[in-house]
Chain A
Amino acid sequence: MIPFVKRFEAAVYVSACVILGGCSGVQSPLDAQGPEAARVANLFWIFAIVCAFVWAAVVIVLIWAVWAKPPNSREKADPLSVDEHQDRRAGYIVSGLVGLTLAVLCTFTIASFLGSRGLASGEGAIEIEVTGYQWWWEFKYSDPEPTRTFTTANELHIPVGRPIKVALKSGDVIHSFWVPNLSGKMDLIPGQHNELTFSADRPGIYRGQCAEFCGLQHAKMALRVVAEPAQDFEAWRNQQLRPASQPVDPQTSKGREVFERSACILCHAIRGTIAGGRQGPDLTHFGSRQTIAAGTLTNTRDHLERWIANPQAFKPGTKMPQVPLNEDELTALSAYLEALK
Chain B
Amino acid sequence: MSSSFRKLWLGLAVGISFVMLTACEREERDYAPTEAEKAALGPVPLVTLEPGGKVPPKPNGMSKEYEDNAYHVNQGQQLFVSFNCNGCHGNGGGGSGPALIDDKWIYGGDFSSIAATIRDGRPNGMPSYGRLLAPEQLYQLAAYVRNLGGYVRTDVAPSRADRLWAKPPENLSQKKPGADPVPATGTPPAPR
Contacts and interface: CB of A to CB of B under 8 A. Distances in A.
Interface of A: 172-173, 191, 261-263, 265-267, 279, 310, 312-313, 316-318, 321-324
Nearest to B137: A321
Given A317-B29, A317-B31, A322 B132 contact: no
Contacts of B41: 324
Contacts of B31: 312, 316-318
Interface string B112-143: 00000000000000000001111111000000
B32 to A, nearest CB: 5
B137 A324 contact: no
30 contacts: A172-B162, A261-B131, A262-B131, A262-B132, A263-B131, A263-B133, A263-B134, A263-B137, A265-B132, A266-B82, A266-B83, A266-B133, A267-B82, A310-B32, A312-B31, A313-B32, A316-B31, A317-B29, A318-B31, A321-B134, A321-B135, A321-B136, A321-B137, A322-B33, A322-B134, A324-B33, A324-B38, A324-B41, A324-B134, A324-B135
Given A312-B31, A321-B136, 18 more contacts: A172-B162, A173-B162, A191-B164, A262-B131, A262-B132, A263-B134, A265-B132, A266-B82, A266-B133, A312-B32, A313-B32, A317-B29, A318-B31, A321-B135, A321-B137, A323-B134, A324-B41, A324-B135
A334 to B, nearest CB: 17
Which of B32, B133, B134 has the most CB atoms of chain A within a 10 A radius of its CB?
Answer: B134
Contacts of B32: 310, 312-313, 322
Nearest to B164: A191
A318 B38 CA distance: 18
Interface string B66-90: 0000000000000000110000000
